[in-house]
């Protein structure tokens, strides 16, 4: 493989951007493709995080692991339409907040957010 670029690390977007995993739906791309590609990435990262053998990256696995961690996240919105996205069944854990008091515990009691 030959990589052609005018700038290399540490001067690319990838060098400075955070790497939070979440499928972003692009209106130009069918949702099923976005989900398929996103889950492929998720499965790769999960296997890496679990220390599974991945032939393609075995030589640089230790370096990759330095920048990888599994963490939980919370998405809060007053629009409930994004709830239960197509990928929710395919990740380790997806939970919806059902009780307003759960939001209160998280400090959203005066923000107008609804569950």
Ligand X SMILES: Cc1cc2nc3c(=O)[nH]c(=O)nc-3n(C[C@H](O)[C@H](O)[C@H](O)COP(=O)(O)OP(=O)(O)OC[C@H]3O[C@@H](n4cnc5c(N)ncnc54)[C@H](O)[C@@H]3O)c2cc1C
Interacting residues toward ligand X by CB under 6 A: 5-8, 12-14, 17-20
Q: Please state the closest distance from residue 71 (CB atom) to ligand X, in A.
A: 12
Q: Contact at 8 Å (CB) between 93 and 72?
A: yes
Least separation in angstroms between CB 44 and ligand X: 13
Q: With 0-12 CB in 10 A as exposed, 13-18 as middle and 19+ as buried, what is 3?
A: exposed
Shortest Cβ 26–ligand X spacing (Å): 11
Q: For ligand X, which residue has the nearest CB? A: 17
104's tokens: 């209160």
Q: Is 84 left (phi over 0), alpha (psi -120 to 50) or beta?
A: left
Q: How far is the CB of 8 from ligand X (least distance, A)?
A: 6
CA distances from 36 to 42, 93, 115 (A): 10, 18, 28
d(CA 89, CA 107): 28
């Amino acid at each position: 493989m030959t990589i052609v670029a005018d700038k290399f690390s540490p001067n690319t977007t990838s060098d400075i951007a955070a790497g939070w995993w979440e499928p972003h739906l692009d209106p130009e791309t069918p949702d099923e493709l976005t989900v398929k590609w996103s889950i492929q990435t998720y499965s790769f990262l999960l296997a890496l995080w679990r220390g599974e053998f991945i032939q393609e990256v075995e030589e640089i696995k230790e370096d990759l692991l330095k920048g990888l961690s599994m963490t939980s996240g919370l998405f809060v919105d007053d629009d409930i339409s994004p709830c239960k996205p197509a990928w929710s069944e395919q990740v380790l854990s997806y939970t919806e907040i059902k009780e307003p008091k759960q939001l209160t515990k998280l400090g959203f009691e005066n923000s107008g957010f609804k569950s």
